[in-house]
């Protein structure tokens, strides 16, 4: 990156903010690039094999849980006995394993007694320890005096060591880490895969029962208003058969679904039924688990051939067609989101982000005067803006990292380091200390910091940056050969931008405020153009047709938008800056036709109407005339059938 300021620009919906966030993560941690690439696009699998395996899974679960067709109940102890019965007695998500291992690492042992658990209450210990004992990572043990505890087995010790490596390499508070590291997730999935009648547990029974629920119903769901909703007869039957659940409490599925999400076994879709807030379908990882579970592989192909011949199969694998986002992309996106949140919310706040708007000014960005209330009235004080604040953190980080290196090399003591850091209270004292220690500091020993400015063109750049605009240039940064600083007006502080600061910005080229980007600012940024990548939608989404409908509305929409864009680019008052990006068709992990129709009526059509502003003669060169009202130049449609017909016509390429 030759410039430390990069601007991602393009029409709406082209993924500018997504690219800026991914770039920010790479700047903070260059080694993450290989991991992100590893999570890239994978080849889609054939849908026929998915449906067959779901049928096998359903029948396999019926056999394992001893489903009795006559009574319509599952007789297995795993859904009925207190020791195994699914319920809210396990912790509310899989992060329990993170906390348990954090305590074990702090204790530096492979076993822990209940009374040694730092949080009070035996139920707390039981909830967290089940993350180990229920997934074959440890065992309960009886101690002297009727005390109970948990001891890690070999697999548990191995996972503990992986956690130790994780926290030694990265600045992570393990006790508050919400997401499971990949190695922990793999260990739990492996435990579920190898489950049989001899190693079943309460937590596994809950997860496996939920997988049965999905294989029987096609998806699992979360109620929109669980306290007031009345379950249908079918819902009651699914809960009773698959999870042994008969209570009236509708919060149960809200408790179960985080387990599936944390393990990457499901993908979320917008619910069509107003009674549900979301529907959750099996992810590729979830399907893969079903194919390889001992419970399922015990069912032979011979048995399966008899199953599908039965006339009384009452469940349906795919009652309506869907468009499913590739799991590897979901994994990559989730990883980016997780890392972005971690670097933004960690102690150093390596990443910060703002969105500019017309009222955003110098006082918000560099420094200003603010007011607070006190007992005797009000008081005024100097307040840092976001740029000055992140520059302070970056410069202090340089000093801190260098001092830590000097302690490690026994050049100074820990007390001497602490004395220096304690003296740094604000930007002024930090800058003074930097000048004092400058000859002993190396920029090789510091972290990078990133400020993301979203919609940079919506602010008044001259007012926002003020005299600091010159300081953006790479060679004028603090620590560079042509370093330059300025005196700030409110505090009279000497201010500069450290060389470990990167500024990434986004700009929507369809926005009329693009004129606000003056020449002085433009020449200080490197520009990265973000064009519509509509082929990405076809590459990342798998189409799963239903039995009676194989029309691929998503791919038709891609072709329709592509044809629209080609025409828009040739219109003088629109041009290539005002196209329709691919992100409009990537907002949901699992699409249904209703979602696509909504995208057209609520987003794409209003955008086109804004582009054309009633220019009837121009818009009918792009959109079929019968869909446009002559007086207003707006679209005409009565229902979804009209939208479906519009998409169909637009998807057909004009003969040149």
State what percent of residues in the chain have pLDDT above 90: 54
Distances, alpha carbon 589 to alpha carbons 323, 326, 356, 634, in Å: 8, 8, 29, 31
What are φ and ψ of residue 368, in 5° steps? -165, -170
484: closest CA among 527, 530, 456, 524? 524
583 part of a folded domain: yes
pLDDT for the residue numbered 513: 57
447 and 348 Cβ atoms separated by less than 8 Å: yes
What CATH code is carried by the domain that includes residue 285? 1.10.10.10
Q: Using the predicted structure, report yes or no on whether residue 254 has a pLDDT greater than 90.
A: no
- Among 276, 293, 310, the domain-final residue is 293
**What are the pLDDT digits (tens) for 360-398?**
999 999 999 888 888 788 888 888 999 999 999 999 999
What CATH code is carried by the domain that includes residue 435? 3.40.50
What are φ and ψ of residue 144, in 5° steps? -60, 145
Strand, helix or coil for residue 179: coil
- Among 192, 212, 234, the domain-final residue is 192
Reported as a pLDDT band with limits 50, 70 and 90, residue 337 is: confident
Q: For residue 27, is it left (φ>0), alpha (ψ between -120 and 50) or beta?
A: alpha
Q: Are residues 538 and 524 in the same domain?
A: no
Q: Are residues 239 and 281 in the same domain?
A: yes
Structure tokens at 221: 């769901």
Q: Are residues 455 and 364 in the same domain?
A: yes
Please name the residue that has the structure tokens 């297995």.
76
Distances, alpha carbon 639 to alpha carbons 556, 585, 605, 645, in Å: 18, 20, 14, 10
**What are the pLDDT digits (tens) for 260-282?**
999 999 988 877 678 888 889 88
465 part of a folded domain: yes
Q: Are residues 387 and 489 in the same domain?
A: yes
pLDDT for the residue numbered 1: 56
Q: In which domain, by residue range, is 125 found?
A: 94-192
Please name the residue that has the structure tokens 């919906």.
13
Strand, helix or coil for residue 320: coil
- Tell which wins on pLDDT, 91 or 393: 393
Q: Nearest-5° angle of CA 298, CA 302, CA 304?
A: 75
> Exposed, middle or buried by CB within 10 Å (0-12, 13-18, 19+), for 80?
middle
Q: Using the predicted structure, report yes or no on whether residue 550 has a pLDDT greater than 60.
A: yes
pLDDT for the residue numbered 312: 39
Q: Are residues 522 and 540 in the same domain?
A: no
The residue-averaged pLDDT of 636-646 equals: 92
113-127, 268-282, 304-318, 367-381: lowest mean pLDDT where? Answer: 304-318
438 and 390 Cβ atoms separated by less than 8 Å: no
Q: Are residues 148 and 214 in the same domain?
A: no
Distances, alpha carbon 572 to alpha carbons 73, 515, 653, in Å: 68, 18, 22
Q: Using the predicted structure, report yes or no on whether residue 88 has a pLDDT greater than 80.
A: no
8-17, 96-105, 515-524, 591-600: lowest mean pLDDT where? Answer: 515-524
Question: Hey, which bits of 318-445 come out as E strands?
Answer: 322-325, 351-355, 367-374, 377-384
Q: Using the predicted structure, report yes or no on whether residue 639 has a pLDDT greater than 50.
A: yes
How far apart, in whole angstroms, are the C-alpha atoms of residue 496 and residue 38?
A: 38
Q: Using the predicted structure, report yes or no on whether residue 516 has a pLDDT greater than 70.
A: no
445 part of a folded domain: yes
Q: Using the predicted structure, report yes or no on whether residue 42 has a pLDDT greater than 60.
A: no
Reported as a pLDDT band with limits 50, 70 and 90, residue 48 is: very low
Chain-wide mean pLDDT for the chain?
87
- Tell which wins on pLDDT, 310 or 633: 633
Domain count, the chain: 4
Residues near 602 by Cβ (< 8 Å), separated by ≥ 6? none
Which neighbouring-strand residues pair with 150?
112, 140
How far apart, in whole angstroms, are the C-alpha atoms of residue 88 and residue 351?
A: 37
What are φ and ψ of residue 640, in 5° steps? -65, -30
Q: For residue 264, is it left (φ>0), alpha (ψ between -120 and 50) or beta?
A: left
pLDDT for the residue numbered 432: 96
425 part of a folded domain: yes
> Exposed, middle or buried by CB within 10 Å (0-12, 13-18, 19+), for 165?
exposed
How far apart, in whole angstroms, are the C-alpha atoms of residue 156 and residue 112?
A: 13
Q: Are residues 365 and 503 in the same domain?
A: yes
How far apart, in whole angstroms, are the C-alpha atoms of residue 103 and residue 129?
A: 11
Q: Are residues 416 and 385 in the same domain?
A: yes
DSSP readout, 427-476?
HHHHHHHHHHHGGG--TTSS--EEEEEETGGGS-HHHHHGGGGGGGSGGG
Q: Are residues 572 and 523 in the same domain?
A: no
- Tell which wins on pLDDT, 299 or 332: 332
Q: Using the predicted structure, report yes or no on whether residue 528 has a pLDDT greater than 90.
A: yes
Distances, alpha carbon 203 to alpha carbons 207, 379, 618, in Å: 6, 56, 61
609 part of a folded domain: yes
DSSP 628: B
Q: Are residues 282 and 136 in the same domain?
A: no
114 part of a folded domain: yes
Reported as a pLDDT band with limits 50, 70 and 90, residue 128 is: very high
Which neighbouring-strand residues pair with 367?
384
- Tell which wins on pLDDT, 583 or 548: 583
How far apart, in whole angstroms, are the C-alpha atoms of residue 95 and residue 313?
A: 38
Go through the chain and tell me how many residues it has.
656
Strand, helix or coil for residue 276: strand
**What are the pLDDT digits (tens) for 137-181?**
999 988 877 788 999 999 999 999 999 999 887 778 888 889 999
Q: Using the predicted structure, report yes or no on whether residue 16 has a pLDDT greater than 70.
A: yes
Q: Using the predicted structure, report yes or no on whether residue 483 has a pLDDT greater than 80.
A: yes
User: 501-508 and 449-454 as β-strands: parallel, antiparallel, unpaired?
Assistant: parallel
- Tell which wins on pLDDT, 297 or 7: 7
Which neighbouring-strand residues pair with 270?
278
Distances, alpha carbon 398 to alpha carbons 292, 308, 394, in Å: 50, 66, 6
Structure tokens at 359: 């009222």
Residue 63 CB coordination number (10 Å): 15
How far apart, in whole angstroms, are the C-alpha atoms of residue 7 and residue 521?
A: 11
Q: Are residues 492 and 363 in the same domain?
A: yes
The residue-averaged pLDDT of 225-235 equals: 87
| Helical H segments across 80-232, by residue range | 96-107, 122-133, 154-169, 182-193, 202-217
Question: Hey, which bits of 285-330 come out as E strands?
Answer: 322-325
Structure tokens at 483: 């370093």
Strand, helix or coil for residue 347: coil
pLDDT for the residue numbered 510: 87
Reported as a pLDDT band with limits 50, 70 and 90, residue 308 is: very low
- Among 177, 192, 207, the domain-final residue is 192
67 and 312 Cβ atoms separated by less than 8 Å: no
Q: Are residues 635 and 544 in the same domain?
A: yes
307 part of a folded domain: no
Structure tokens at 141: 């043990």
100 part of a folded domain: yes
């Amino acid at each position: 990156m030759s410039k430390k300021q990069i601007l991602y620009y393009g029409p709406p919906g082209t993924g500018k903010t997504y690219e800026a966030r991914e770039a920010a993560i790479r700047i903070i941690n260059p080694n993450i690039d290989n991991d992100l690439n590893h999570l890239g696009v994978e080849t889609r699998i054939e849908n026929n094999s998915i449906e067959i395996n779901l049928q096998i899974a359903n029948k396999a679960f019926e056999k394992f849980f001893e489903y009795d067709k006559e009574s319509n109940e599952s007789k297995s102890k795993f859904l009925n006995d207190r020791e195994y019965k699914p319920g809210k007695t396990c912790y509310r998500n899989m992060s329990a394993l993170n906390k348990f291992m954090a305590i074990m690492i702090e204790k530096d042992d492979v076993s822990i007694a209940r009374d040694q658990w730092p949080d009070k209450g035996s139920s707390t210990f039981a909830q967290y320890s089940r993350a180990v004992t229920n997934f074959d990572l440890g065992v309960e043990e009886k101690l002297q005096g009727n005390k109970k505890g948990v001891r890690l087995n070999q697999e548990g010790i191995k996972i503990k060591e992986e956690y130790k490596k994780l926290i030694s390499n990265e600045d992570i508070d393990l006790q508050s880490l919400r997401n499971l590291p990949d190695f922990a997730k793999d260990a739990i999935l492996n435990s579920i895969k190898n489950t049989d009648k001899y190693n079943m547990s309460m937590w596994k029974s809950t997860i496996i029962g939920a997988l049965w629920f999905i294989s029987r119903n096609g998806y699992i769901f979360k109620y929109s208003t669980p306290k007031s909703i009345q379950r249908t007869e079918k819902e009651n039957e699914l809960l009773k058969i698959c999870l042994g659940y008969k209570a009236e409490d509708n919060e149960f599925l809200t408790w179960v679904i985080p387990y599936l999400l944390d393990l990457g076994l499901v993908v979320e879709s917008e619910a069509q039924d107003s009674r549900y807030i979301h529907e959750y379908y099996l992810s590729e990882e979830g399907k893969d688990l079903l194919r390889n579970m001992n419970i399922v592989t015990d069912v032979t192909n011979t048995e399966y051939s008899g199953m599908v011949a039965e006339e009384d199969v009452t469940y349906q694998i795919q009652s309506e067609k869907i468009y499913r986002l590739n799991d590897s992309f979901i994994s990559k996106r989730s990883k980016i989101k997780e890392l972005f949140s971690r670097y933004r919310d960690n102690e150093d706040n390596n990443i910060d982000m703002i969105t500019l708007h017309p009222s955003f000014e110098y006082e918000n960005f560099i420094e200003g005067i603010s007011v607070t209330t006190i007992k005797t009235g009000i008081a005024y004080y100097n307040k840092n803006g976001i740029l000055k604040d992140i520059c302070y953190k970056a410069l202090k980080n340089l000093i801190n990292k260098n001092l830590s290196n000097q302690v490690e090399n026994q050049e100074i003591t820990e007390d001497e380091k602490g004395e220096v850091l304690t003296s740094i209270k604000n930007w002024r004292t930090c800058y003074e200390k930097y000048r004092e220690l400058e000859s002993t500091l190396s920029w090789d020993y510091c972290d990078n910091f990133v400020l993301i400015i979203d919609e940079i063109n919506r602010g008044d750049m001259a007012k926002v940056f003020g005299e600091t605009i010159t300081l953006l240039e790479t060679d004028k940064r603090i620590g560079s050969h042509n370093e330059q600083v300025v005196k700030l007006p409110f505090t009279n502080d000497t201010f500069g931008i450290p060389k470990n600061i990167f500024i990434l910005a986004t700009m929507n080229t369809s926005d009329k405020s693009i004129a606000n980007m003056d020449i002085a600012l433009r020449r200080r940024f490197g520009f990265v153009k973000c064009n519509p990548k509509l082929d990405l939608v076809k590459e990342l989404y798998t189409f799963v047709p239903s039995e009676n409908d194989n029309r691929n509305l998503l791919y038709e929409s891609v072709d329709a938008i592509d044809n629209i864009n080609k025409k828009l680019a040739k219109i003088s008052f629109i041009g290539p800056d005002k196209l329709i990006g691919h992100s409009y068709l990537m907002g949901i992990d699992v699409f249904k036709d209703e979602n696509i129709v909504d995208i057209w009526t609520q987003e794409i059509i209003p955008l086109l109407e804004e582009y054309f502003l009633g220019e009837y003669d121009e818009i009918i060169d792009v959109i079929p005339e019968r869909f446009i009202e002559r007086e207003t130049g707006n679209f005409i449609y009565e229902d979804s059938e009209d939208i479906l017909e519009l998409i169909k016509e637009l998807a057909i390429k004009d003969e040149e």
